[in-house]
Amino acid sequence: MKIEIGEVFAIKTKIGFGFIQYVGVGNLGIEIIRVLETIKETNEISQLEVNIPERFTVQFVVKAALRKKILIKTGLFKVPDFYQIPNKARTKHIIRGEFLGWHIVDQLTLKIELKKVLSKDDLLLSPHGIPNDTLLIEYLENDLRLDKWM
C-alpha cells in the first residue's frame, strides 16, 4: 500500500472526525503525521483547514490503520510551507509513580536530555512515541494542547 506525502485521512471520534496529514517517514520507518486542528461532523476537509497550524506531530502506523479501516482517505493536499518535521519531542519521565521531569528526545539520534522545568519552546514539543489509534482518538477527544500538556 502506497501513501503520498500530503495525503489527509479522517479518523472517527465521539465528537466527530479528526484529521491527520501524512508528512514523511521517521528514522525507524514509521510514518510521521500532523494531527490537524479541525474536528468536524463530516469527513471532508479543505486546503484552508489543512493550512491551519497543527495540534502536534507524532509517528503513527498509517498503513496499518488503513488496512484495518480505522482511517478514511480524504484527499491529497499540499503540506503548508511553514511546516517542518520537528527534530525534538518530549515525554514524561516517571519512576515508580514519581514524576522526575521531562525527557527531551532528539528524534534523529534518540539522545535524551532530562529537564525538571520546561522552557516556552519545550512546551511546544510534540509527544514522543508512537500512539496507537485508541490513544490518538483520546488525544483528539480530550483536546490535547501542547502548551497545556503537563
23-38: per-residue pLDDT in tens?
A: 999 888 899 999 999 9
Domain span at residue 95 reads 87-124
**What is the end-to-end Cα distance of the chain in Å, rounded?**
37
Task: Please tell me whether residues 91 and 51 are part of one structural domain.
Answer: no
Number of H helices, E strands in the chain: 4, 9
Enter the DSSP assignment of 50. Answer: H
150 is a domain residue: no
66 is a domain residue: yes
96 - beta bridge partners? none
- The average pLDDT across 57-86 equals 95
Grid look-up 497543527 returns 54
More confident site: 142 or 149: 142
Task: Please tell me whether residues 107 and 58 are part of one structural domain.
Answer: no
> Rounded to an integer, what distance in angstroms lies between the CA atom of residue 54 and that of residue 72?
19
- pLDDT tens for 99-110 read 999 999 998 888
Task: Please tell me whether residues 56 and 71 are part of one structural domain.
Answer: yes
34 is a domain residue: yes
Task: Please tell me whether residues 72 and 59 are part of one structural domain.
Answer: yes
- Concatenating the DSSP letter of every residue in 55-68 gives SEEEE--HHHHHHT
